[in-house]
Structure 1
Amino acid sequence: MAQHPEPPGPTAPAPSDPAGPSGPEGSDPVHRTSTTEQGRFCFARCECGWRGPARRARSQARTDAAQHP
């Protein structure tokens, strides 16, 4: 069975909150997430220091980023 890996691509920002870079006044700022590739794996990262699990599917890493609180 032939495997067709996804071609390497640049780090892409994950979907973020449409409210902008910060939430309502007095609340915590919105987390800005992105995806990063490391070898055959891709993972989601956040400015707060959170890092999602390594995934082979970029789409799953983007889902992890979107679900990060």
Structure 2
Amino acid sequence: MAQQDELEHRTTTTEKGRFCMATCTCGWHGPARRARSQARTDAEKHKTP
């Protein structure tokens, strides 16, 4: 079951200009951030239950 959840929540970061945003295959997206590290943190928080 844990493997299935991980497959459903595959996150990536996308850059647009000076901003970076985390997105997930489930449709979730985080706020636009100037720091890539913060966008990655948003993605990790989303993946944890």
| Shorter-normalised TM range | 0.7 to 0.9
Identity %: 67
Unaligned runs of 5+ in 1: 1-21
**Structure 2: where are the runs of 5+ without partners?**
none
Task: Give deviations 1:26-45, integer Å, cap 9, x for gaps.
Answer: xx522110100011100100
Return the offset for 1:23: 1.8
Q: Which has the higher helix share?
A: 2
In our comparison, the structure showing a higher alpha carbon Rg is: 1
* Partner residue, 1:3: none
Give me the TM-score of the superposition, normalised by structure 1: 0.58
Calculate the TM-score normalised by the size of structure 2: 0.80
- Which structure has the highest strand share of the two? 2
**Alignment length (residue pairs):** 45
CA deviation map 1:11-62 (0-9, x unaligned): xxxxxxxxxxx625xxx52211010001110010000010000000000000
Q: What is the letter of the counterpart of residue 23 of structure 1? A: A
Runs of 4+ in 1 over 6 A off after TM superposition: none
